[in-house]
Amino acid sequence: MLEKDYVEGKIHPLDLKNMVAEYLVEMLEPARKYFLEGPGRRYYEELRSLRITR
């Protein structure tokens, strides 16, 4: 198990960080495609056009 290996020092913290980052990129890829290439593109563009006024 990953948690057990980390606690026991079998996995270096930087390796764990990189593994988690890669997993998150994979997991979030469908949402990224939706907002950058799919029907969600208009929402992305609308958010980019908003200005913060305070």
Q: Is the Cβ–Cβ distance between 2 and 11 less than 8 Å?
A: yes
Contacts of 11 (CB under 8 A, 6+ apart): 2, 5
Distance between CA atoms of 7 and 28, rounded to whole angstroms? Answer: 27
Q: What is the pLDDT of residues 9-43, one digit of tens each?
A: 999 999 999 999 999 999 999 999 999 999 999 99
Model pTM score: 0.66
Classify residue 8 by its DSSP letter. Answer: T
Distance between CA atoms of 41 and 22, rounded to whole angstroms? Answer: 24
